[in-house]
Amino acid sequence: MLERKSLKWPISLAIVMIVLIVGLTVGWILVNVFGAITNQSGSTLYWTSLTVGSIMFALVLTGVILYLVWSIQQVDLNRRQSNFLDAVTHELKSPIASLKLFLQTLHRHEVDPDQRREFYRSMMDDVERLDRLITQLLDVAKLEQDSNEPQQPSWVSLSEIVQTTAEKLLQQYRLSKDVLTIQVDPCEVWGKQVDVEILVRNLLDNAIKYSGTPPAVLLQATVSNDESELRMVFQDNGIGIPRHLRRAIFRRFYRVGNELERTKPGTGLGLFIVRAIIKRLGGTIRVEEPAKSKGARFVVLLPQVRRLSTTNPPLSPSVTPPTYEHPHDHA
């Protein structure tokens, strides 16, 4: 409510000003045209004042419109920043509160071994959650001080990064291997190892986090025949992303829905980081809906890639050659 109110004022003020300026411009034009027609001797003066006046009005109108756009952007940024603060506070406070409770219980009461094991498991989840949040905040910091970073770009193995990231995430979300279908051409991309890792981690993490029940996620990476492009697809079977929000989700702190209704933890930074990295790698990212099923589908195109010979050592069983069609494409 508060945010709506704060947007209402600049918009109303700008609309009133735009209407006034347009009214004045029309009046100005009519007076001058009428003057030029009825007063033949001084018509040059009227035409000059008409031209100069119209240019002035056009400049004022442009200024007001720019002011309106700028105000809306500022209010929107404030809203996202306060959402971000809410999300970070929540993401910090709830695992800490839960850890505290488990530790107090373990400290004060006798707990049987089964229950103790369950407690440790939940505590581990809380620690993971804190770790994810801190990692993401550090990723943003890294992006911002990129020029000081020692790591240089090089050829990095996409297949290895996908494999380690997938294993970590499956473990973290306690999901079985068959949730993920991975079809990756053995290849290397040109970039910083850390960038490619963050890119894969954030998109795969989202695909798992926002997927449906039961979750099904597809990660495909295909190298074009002439090795001029790598096409990566991250697809899930979740609720998907409404068409009109497909650009907004890449903005800093942006999260779909409102803080009270959200069930998934997050900060709205993941895709912002992904977009910045993809720009640095010279690539593009777009969001689509899967052709034959519900869910979200992120398509990343990267320009600098080279295929690895297939005689390389085989990857883990979770990474299969790209011959499989995603089951949900037929749903």
Binding site for ligand ADP (CB under 6 A): 202, 206-207, 210, 236, 238-241, 249, 254-256, 266-272, 296
Half-sphere exposure of 199 (CA within 13 A, CB side): 28
- 230 pairs with which residues across the strands? 223, 302
- Please give the span between the terminal C-alpha atoms of the chain, in angstroms, as a whole number: 40
Cβ proximity to ligand ADP, 46 vs 254, nearer residue: 254
Residue 253, phi-psi category: left (phi > 0), alpha (psi -120 to 50), beta (remainder): left
Please identify which residue in the block is written with the tokens 């300026």: 21
Identify the sign of the CA torsion 233, 239, 245, 251.
negative
Cβ proximity to ligand ADP, 91 vs 185, nearer residue: 91
Q: How far is the CB of 209 from ligand ADP (least distance, A)?
A: 6
Q: How far is the CB of 129 from ligand ADP (least distance, A)?
A: 12
Q: How far is the CB of 290 from ligand ADP (least distance, A)?
A: 11
Going by their DSSP bridges, the two strands 217-223 and 180-184 should be labelled as parallel
Q: How far is the CB of 18 from ligand ADP (least distance, A)?
A: 33
DSSP assignment letter at 152: P
Cβ proximity to ligand ADP, 191 vs 240, nearer residue: 240
Q: Do the beta carbons of residue 50 and residue 32 sit within 8 Å? A: yes
Q: Do the beta carbons of residue 155 and residue 306 sit within 8 Å? A: yes
Backbone angles phi, psi at 153, to 5 degrees: -65, 150
Q: How far is the CB of 264 from ligand ADP (least distance, A)?
A: 7
Cβ proximity to ligand ADP, 132 vs 187, nearer residue: 132
Contacts of 147 (CB under 8 A, 6+ apart): none
Cβ proximity to ligand ADP, 279 vs 306, nearer residue: 279
Backbone angles phi, psi at 103, to 5 degrees: -65, -40
Q: How far is the CB of 77 from ligand ADP (least distance, A)?
A: 15
Cβ proximity to ligand ADP, 271 vs 302, nearer residue: 271
The whole-angstrom separation of Cα 160 and Cα 165 is 8
Cβ proximity to ligand ADP, 270 vs 283, nearer residue: 270
Q: How far is the CB of 234 from ligand ADP (least distance, A)?
A: 7
Give which of 214, 164, 200 is closest to 277, Cα–Cα: 200
